[in-house]
């Protein structure tokens, strides 16, 4: 995968009209801001997350702005099994008959600690959510994505997938794994219409980052709303030429 940096927001109007976009982790942080931004560009979003209350709040926010009505799919991805992924695919098929994009955004940092203190179940949680779930969902959703004219799969990596750091073993391993998954899938699908990319959002002011760096003033990090235009660009018709890339948000 070639690494590129998107340091300018796309100029002009981005087009997501009539697109159906599934966003995991849509109740908070980057996923929440992305769902609202996609709806503003005309997309119908499927909001997947753990907390129904948070998903309902995003739904209400989108509806209050008279944007396309989203669908809500509460699911604790830590417990997700293949049958849950197939049930999601079936439900999207019944509601929309296609899927134009999936953004694998839900993620956790897990315990930031020396490996010898890292409890096995904490390792498994991080790898389950950050790596196994993107595989499971992609596997179940590929047939639906193939029904779209312009399908897109966007995986989320992080700086820790460029250079692993001490105490971040589970997170780094999961994000390096996502890069490998995305690259392999891109190679398989390169001669099809399906675009596979990874995005590294950089440092963003969300609960995930604030929890891990409690000593840093959160205001030094950009808000999710400031970085999601890059995601929207990648998902839009205007970003259609970007394929098989690891995109860094500058």
- Calpha distance 142→134 (Å, rounded): 12
Phi/psi for 155 (5° steps) reads: -100, 155
Active-site residue identified among 59, 86, 135, 171: 171
> Which of the ranges 50-58, 88-96, 135-143, 226-234 carries the binding residues for ligand NAP, by CB under 6 A?
50-58
- Calpha distance 225→73 (Å, rounded): 22
Residues in the chain: 250
If the CB atoms of residues 211 and 240 are measured against ligand NAP, the closer one turns out to be: 211
- Calpha distance 193→146 (Å, rounded): 8
- Calpha distance 49→192 (Å, rounded): 30
**Lookup result for tokens 């390169």:** 190
With binding defined as CB under 6 A, does residue 46 bind ligand NAP? no
With binding defined as CB under 6 A, does residue 177 bind ligand NAP? no
- Kindly state the smallest distance separating residue 203's Cβ from ligand NAP, in Å: 5
With binding defined as CB under 6 A, does residue 3 bind ligand NAP? no
With binding defined as CB under 6 A, does residue 51 bind ligand NAP? yes
- Kindly state the smallest distance separating residue 169's Cβ from ligand NAP, in Å: 15
With binding defined as CB under 6 A, does residue 107 bind ligand NAP? yes
> Which of the ranges 9-17, 101-109, 110-118, 143-151 carries the binding residues for ligand NAP, by CB under 6 A?
101-109
With binding defined as CB under 6 A, does residue 47 bind ligand NAP? no
Cite the DSSP H helix spans in the chain. Answer: 29-40, 52-64, 82-96, 120-127, 133-145, 169-189, 207-212, 224-235
| Cα–Cα nearest to 198, from 212, 177, 213, 169 | 177
Of the candidate residues 38, 85, 106, 136, the single one contacting ligand NAP (CB under 6 A): 106
With binding defined as CB under 6 A, does residue 234 bind ligand NAP? no
171 is catalytic: yes
With binding defined as CB under 6 A, does residue 151 bind ligand NAP? no
- Calpha distance 169→123 (Å, rounded): 9
Which residues does the annotation mark as catalytic?
171
Name the site residues for ligand NAP (rule: CB under 6 A).
25, 27-31, 49-51, 54, 76-78, 105-108, 129, 156, 158, 201, 203-204, 206-209
């Amino acid at each position: 995968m070639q690494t590129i940096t998107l340091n300018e927001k796309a100029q002009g109007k981005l087009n997501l009209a009539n697109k159906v976009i599934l966003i995991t982790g849509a109740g908070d942080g980057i996923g929440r801001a992305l769902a609202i931004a996609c709806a503003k560009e005309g997309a119908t979003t499927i909001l997947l997350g753990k907390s129904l209350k948070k998903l309902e709040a995003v739904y209400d926010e989108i509806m209050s702005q008279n944007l396309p009505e989203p669908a809500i799919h509460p699911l604790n991805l830590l417990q997700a099994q293949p049958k849950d992924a197939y049930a999601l695919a079936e439900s999207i098929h019944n509601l929309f008959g296609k899927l134009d994009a999936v953004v694998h955004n839900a993620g956790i940092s897990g315990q930031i600690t020396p490996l010898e203190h890292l409890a096995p179940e904490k390792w498994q949680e991080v790898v389950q959510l950050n790596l196994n779930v993107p595989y499971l969902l992609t596997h179940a959703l590929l047939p639906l994505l193939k029904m779209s004219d312009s399908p897109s799969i966007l995986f989320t990596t992080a700086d820790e997938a460029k250079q692993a750091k001490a105490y971040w073993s589970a997170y780094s391993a999961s994000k390096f794994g996502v890069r490998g998954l995305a690259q392999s899938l891109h190679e398989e699908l390169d001669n099809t219409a399906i675009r596979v990319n990874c995005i590294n959002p950089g440092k963003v002011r969300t609960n995930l980052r604030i929890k891990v760096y409690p000593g840093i003033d959160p205001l030094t990090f950009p808000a999710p709303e400031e970085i999601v235009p890059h995601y929207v660009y990648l998902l839009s018709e205007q970003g259609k030429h970007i394929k098989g890339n690891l995109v860094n948000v500058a």
